[in-house]
Amino acid sequence: MSLSDTLLHCMTEFTPFNALIGGLLIGSSATLLLWLNGRIAGVTGMITGLLVKPAPEQAWRLLFLLGLVAGTAAYSLWGAATPLRQGFPVWLLVVAGLLTGYGTAQANGCTSGHGVCGLARLSLRSLVATGTFLGVAVLTTFVVRHLAGLAP
Protein backbone atom coordinates (compact mmCIF):
# COMPACT_ATOMS: atom_id res chain seq x y z
CA MET A 1 0.00 0.00 0.00
CA SER A 2 1.41 3.38 -0.94
CA LEU A 3 1.60 6.34 1.37
CA SER A 4 -1.07 8.18 -0.61
CA ASP A 5 -3.50 5.31 -0.05
CA THR A 6 -2.83 5.04 3.64
CA LEU A 7 -3.22 8.74 4.27
CA LEU A 8 -6.62 8.94 2.61
CA HIS A 9 -8.73 10.09 5.46
CA CYS A 10 -12.07 9.02 6.76
CA MET A 11 -14.79 11.62 6.82
CA THR A 12 -16.17 12.57 10.20
CA GLU A 13 -19.41 14.39 10.97
CA PHE A 14 -19.60 17.64 12.90
CA THR A 15 -20.80 16.57 16.36
CA PRO A 16 -21.49 19.84 18.19
CA PHE A 17 -23.35 18.40 21.16
CA ASN A 18 -20.80 15.72 22.07
CA ALA A 19 -17.95 18.15 21.37
CA LEU A 20 -19.36 20.76 23.70
CA ILE A 21 -20.16 18.32 26.51
CA GLY A 22 -16.73 16.71 26.08
CA GLY A 23 -15.13 20.15 26.27
CA LEU A 24 -17.08 20.97 29.42
CA LEU A 25 -15.89 17.70 30.99
CA ILE A 26 -12.28 18.59 30.13
CA GLY A 27 -12.82 22.05 31.65
CA SER A 28 -14.31 20.42 34.76
CA SER A 29 -11.27 18.16 35.04
CA ALA A 30 -8.93 21.15 34.84
CA THR A 31 -11.03 23.01 37.41
CA LEU A 32 -11.03 20.05 39.82
CA LEU A 33 -7.25 19.69 39.68
CA LEU A 34 -6.69 23.41 40.23
CA TRP A 35 -9.30 23.74 42.99
CA LEU A 36 -8.27 20.62 44.96
CA ASN A 37 -4.53 20.35 44.26
CA GLY A 38 -3.55 23.76 42.86
CA ARG A 39 -2.17 22.04 39.77
CA ILE A 40 -2.40 22.69 36.04
CA ALA A 41 -3.99 19.81 34.10
CA GLY A 42 -1.29 19.68 31.45
CA VAL A 43 -0.37 16.30 30.00
CA THR A 44 3.07 17.50 28.87
CA GLY A 45 3.83 18.65 32.41
CA MET A 46 2.81 15.23 33.71
CA ILE A 47 5.13 13.46 31.25
CA THR A 48 8.16 15.71 31.78
CA GLY A 49 7.45 15.73 35.53
CA LEU A 50 7.57 11.93 35.55
CA LEU A 51 10.90 12.09 33.71
CA VAL A 52 12.69 14.59 35.91
CA LYS A 53 10.97 14.85 39.29
CA PRO A 54 11.84 12.84 42.42
CA ALA A 55 9.55 9.93 43.31
CA PRO A 56 7.25 11.69 45.82
CA GLU A 57 6.30 14.22 43.16
CA GLN A 58 5.64 11.59 40.54
CA ALA A 59 2.66 9.84 42.14
CA TRP A 60 -0.08 12.36 41.38
CA ARG A 61 1.20 12.83 37.84
CA LEU A 62 1.17 9.10 37.20
CA LEU A 63 -2.28 8.80 38.78
CA PHE A 64 -3.69 11.55 36.57
CA LEU A 65 -2.39 9.74 33.48
CA LEU A 66 -3.73 6.41 34.76
CA GLY A 67 -7.08 8.11 35.34
CA LEU A 68 -6.95 9.45 31.79
CA VAL A 69 -6.46 5.90 30.48
CA ALA A 70 -9.11 4.50 32.86
CA GLY A 71 -11.71 7.12 31.89
CA THR A 72 -11.12 6.36 28.22
CA ALA A 73 -11.32 2.62 28.92
CA ALA A 74 -14.59 3.09 30.82
CA TYR A 75 -16.07 5.07 27.94
CA SER A 76 -15.05 2.43 25.42
CA LEU A 77 -16.78 -0.22 27.55
CA TRP A 78 -20.04 1.64 28.21
CA GLY A 79 -20.10 4.34 25.55
CA ALA A 80 -19.50 4.37 21.83
CA ALA A 81 -16.53 2.66 20.22
CA THR A 82 -13.81 4.86 18.75
CA PRO A 83 -13.07 3.80 15.15
CA LEU A 84 -9.52 2.52 14.65
CA ARG A 85 -7.56 4.03 11.79
CA GLN A 86 -6.26 1.35 9.45
CA GLY A 87 -2.93 1.14 7.66
CA PHE A 88 -1.39 4.40 8.87
CA PRO A 89 2.40 4.04 8.45
CA VAL A 90 4.20 3.18 11.69
CA TRP A 91 7.26 5.26 10.78
CA LEU A 92 5.04 8.31 10.46
CA LEU A 93 3.54 7.66 13.92
CA VAL A 94 7.07 7.44 15.34
CA VAL A 95 8.33 10.60 13.60
CA ALA A 96 5.20 12.51 14.61
CA GLY A 97 5.45 11.23 18.19
CA LEU A 98 9.12 12.24 18.49
CA LEU A 99 8.37 15.75 17.16
CA THR A 100 5.37 16.05 19.47
CA GLY A 101 7.29 14.88 22.54
CA TYR A 102 10.34 17.04 21.86
CA GLY A 103 8.31 20.11 20.91
CA THR A 104 5.86 19.98 23.81
CA ALA A 105 8.71 19.47 26.31
CA GLN A 106 10.56 22.44 24.80
CA ALA A 107 7.46 24.65 24.85
CA ASN A 108 6.47 23.38 28.31
CA GLY A 109 2.94 22.54 27.27
CA CYS A 110 0.57 21.15 24.71
CA THR A 111 -3.14 21.31 23.93
CA SER A 112 -4.13 20.78 27.57
CA GLY A 113 -1.56 22.87 29.45
CA HIS A 114 -1.28 25.79 27.02
CA GLY A 115 -4.48 25.28 25.00
CA VAL A 116 -6.99 24.76 27.81
CA CYS A 117 -5.45 25.84 31.13
CA GLY A 118 -3.14 28.54 29.74
CA LEU A 119 -5.86 30.25 27.74
CA ALA A 120 -8.20 30.00 30.74
CA ARG A 121 -5.56 31.78 32.85
CA LEU A 122 -5.28 34.44 30.13
CA SER A 123 -1.58 33.66 29.75
CA LEU A 124 -0.03 35.47 26.80
CA ARG A 125 2.68 32.78 26.51
CA SER A 126 0.02 30.12 26.19
CA LEU A 127 -1.89 32.16 23.62
CA VAL A 128 1.27 32.44 21.51
CA ALA A 129 2.02 28.73 21.95
CA THR A 130 -1.54 27.70 21.04
CA GLY A 131 -1.61 29.99 18.00
CA THR A 132 1.73 28.59 16.88
CA PHE A 133 0.98 24.87 17.21
CA LEU A 134 -2.53 25.24 15.80
CA GLY A 135 -1.27 27.29 12.85
CA VAL A 136 1.62 24.95 12.10
CA ALA A 137 -0.64 21.89 12.45
CA VAL A 138 -3.16 23.38 10.00
CA LEU A 139 -0.32 24.13 7.58
CA THR A 140 1.17 20.64 8.00
CA THR A 141 -2.18 18.98 7.35
CA PHE A 142 -2.69 21.19 4.29
CA VAL A 143 0.71 20.24 2.87
CA VAL A 144 0.22 16.52 3.54
CA ARG A 145 -3.33 16.30 2.24
CA HIS A 146 -3.42 18.83 -0.57
CA LEU A 147 -0.03 20.07 -1.78
CA ALA A 148 1.55 16.63 -1.67
CA GLY A 149 -1.49 15.30 -3.51
CA LEU A 150 -2.15 12.68 -0.91
CA ALA A 151 -5.85 13.37 -0.56
CA PRO A 152 -8.75 13.72 -2.99
Partner 1 sequence: MSKTTLRNLAALGSGVVFGLGLSLAQMTNPDKVLNFLDISGRWDPSLLLVLGGAVVLSALAFRLVFKRGAPLWDSLFHMPLPKAIDRPLIVGSALFGIGWGLSGYCPGPAIASLGFGNPEALWVVPSIIAGAALQRWTHFRQTADID
Interior angle at CA 48, CA 85 and CA 101, nearest 5: 35
**What is the chain's Cα-based Rg?**
18
Cβ 113 vs Cβ 26: under 8 Å: no
Does position 149 interact with partner 1 (CB under 8 A)? The reply is: no
Does position 25 interact with partner 1 (CB under 8 A)? The reply is: yes
Hey, which residues between 88 and 117 contact partner 1 (CB under 8 A)? 88, 90, 92-112, 114-117
Hey, which residues between 48 and 87 contact partner 1 (CB under 8 A)? 48-49, 51-53, 59-61, 63-76, 79, 81-85
**In the complex, what is the shortest distance from the CB of residue 23 to partner 1, in angstroms, rounded to a whole number?**
3
Residue 137 to residue 143: CA distance in whole angstroms: 10
Binds partner 1 (CB under 8 A): choice among 3, 36, 54, 55: 36
